[in-house]
Amino acid sequence: MEAQEEFLFADGPAPELHLPDPLADFYAEVAAKWEIPLGQPVHIALREHQFADLQGRLELSRAPDLPLDRREALALRIGTIEFSSRQIVAWSLV
């Protein structure tokens, strides 16, 4: 006898089932403390960087030291381009 698979009754395409990201709360805390949209598509203006403007998903390049201290600079990146949170002049969601 074959094992019965679980049935999902939903309109439209089958929903994607993913395990929750164990770091989601950490990212949310960092984003709130530094007031930046981590994990979201953004347009960023930078100072003292070879690229004045970047567009893409804002990510941590390296995790900040604990305990979190907003006075420390965050190591960030968009794609493969790295920069510091102190270099951000302005940002907007795309």
* pLDDT tens per residue, range 17-52: 777 777 788 899 999 999 999 999 999 999 998 889
Residue position matching structure tokens 């698979």: 5
* Residue 40 placed within a domain: yes
pLDDT recorded at residue 22: 76
* Residue 11 placed within a domain: no
* Residue 18 placed within a domain: no
* Residue 6 placed within a domain: no
Domains in the chain, number:
1
Burial of 61 (0-12, 13-18, 19+ CB in 10 A): middle
For residue 14 the two structure tokens come to 């089958």
* Residue 13 placed within a domain: no
* Residue 4 placed within a domain: no
Residue position matching structure tokens 């089932």: 17
Q: What is the DSSP string of 7-74?
A: P---SSSPPP--PPPTTHHHHHHHHHHHT--TTSEEEEEESSSS-SEEEEEEEEEEPPPSSP-TTSPP
Counting residues of the chain whose pLDDT is more than 70, the rounded percentage is 83
Domain containing residue 57:
35-93
